[in-house]
Structures are given as C-alpha cells and as structure tokens.
A and B are shown apart, each in its own frame.
Chain A
Amino acid sequence: EVQLVESGGGLVQPGGSLRLSCAASGLTFSHYYMNWVRQAPGKGLEWVANIKQDGSETYYVDSVKGRFTISRDNARNSLYLQMNSLRAEDTAVYYCATVVGGVDYWGQGTLLTVSS
C-alpha cells in the first residue's frame, strides 16, 4: 500500500524559512514524479511544485518561483520542500502527492502558518 507522510509544518514569521518533508513507502519511489500541493484555509487545491524521477527537472507555480525549492532523496524515499521568504499567503496545508499507474496518492498533509 502506498503511503505518503508529510512532516515539518508549523508557525513561522513572515520572511522566515521552513523545510517540509514527505516520507514515501509502498512504491518504488525513484520511478515517479512527485508533487507538492497546498490548500489555503477555506480554499481549493493548488499545485505548488513537482520534480522528475531523478531530480533533474523541477517545476513551480509562479507564486513560489525563486522562494521554494523542491528536492528528493531517492535513497531515503523522501521528498522535500524548502520554503524561504515566507508570506502570509503561503499559509496552507501542504500535501505531497503522486500518481502511480494513473492512481493518485496523497498524504495527510502538514499545516504551515505564516504569521507574526
């Protein structure tokens, strides 16, 4: 069974930094693109970033370009999101997600709150 478990969320001041992690199991992690998706309070789902299987290509939504960095460690079956220069509008639940054989798998999410 595929499992994705996010961690690392918390309360950060505007301008601060935080790194989120996602531990994957039940799949051959190195075979799949991985995504970060977020959901602001009371809002819909927003794709944030993704990374190719070997980490050689990364893509971002415009609002986080230059501030967020997605990375992965295939030896540790782990996905990361380094978030710098955080803003109030980055407040959201962050999910890691992937598609395996056409099937979408999501974690439970981790909450980031950016506030002074």
Chain B
Amino acid sequence: DIVMTQTPLSSPVTLGQPASISCRSSQSLVHSDGNSYLSWLHQRPGQPPRLLIYKISNRFSGVPDRFSGSGAGTDFTLKISRVEAEDVGVYYCAQATQFYTFGQGTKLEIK
C-alpha cells in the first residue's frame, strides 16, 4: 500500500502570511496512464472534506488562487500565499493512483 506522510502536523500561521504543507508518498504516484493522482483536501469541523487541488497542481472550481500545488514523483507541496481566517482546519493530501490513501492531516490554525 502507498503510505502518505505529511509535515508539519500542526501549523500556526499569522493572518496574511504564507503557509506550506509537504506530503511524501512511499512510492511514485505516476499512474500507468501518465497522470499522478495527488489531491489536496480541506476539512472544517463537522464538514466533509472539500477538494482544493487535483492531479498535483490543478485548482478545483471555485478555489481561490492563493492556493497552489506542486511536486512530482513522491514529493508534493500545498502552498497558501496569504492565509485568511477561513483557511483554518485540517488539510489532507490524498493519492488515488493505487487504491485511495491519505496523509495524517495538517491542522492549520491562526496564531
């Protein structure tokens, strides 16, 4: 099974400052079709996960452009250029190249 490892697990950030979350997979996420099925999800308490980024770097419909994704192979990053109050919650990386597995989650909170 592909294991996803996120760092950090907690990230206190000042409003208006950038934030970055890393995700590493235990093996390459390149699928036989040439795509890498790496997504980033955001979850607020009591709500289902919401898709932010899919296939490493594609913003989902309605996602603000302050969110960006990058990476390749086994190393991926989610960046928020300027954190806003609504960005608090838990962020998960997810891979769907082989089954569907998730990182442990990174809790973003405001300092």
> Are A and B interaction partners?
yes
Interface size class of B (residues with CB under 8 A): 20 to 34
Interface size class of A (residues with CB under 8 A): 20 to 34
- B binding-site residues for A, Cβ under 8 Å: 35, 37, 39, 41, 48-51, 54-55, 58, 60, 90, 92, 94, 96, 99-105
Contact between chains at B104 and A44 (CB < 8 Å):
yes
Known A-B contacts: A45-B49, A45-B92. Give 4 more (CB < 8 A).
A37-B102, A44-B102, A59-B99, A104-B96
B54: A residues at CB distance < 8 A: 102-104
Contact between chains at A50 and B51 (CB < 8 Å):
no
**A-B Cβ contacts below 8 A, count:** 52
Q: Which residue of B is nearest A47, CB measured?
A: B100
B101: A residues at CB distance < 8 A: 47
Interface majority SS on A: helix, strand, loop or mixed?
strand
CB within 8 Å of B: which of A77-116?
A: 93, 95, 97, 99, 102-109
Contact between chains at A45 and B48 (CB < 8 Å):
no
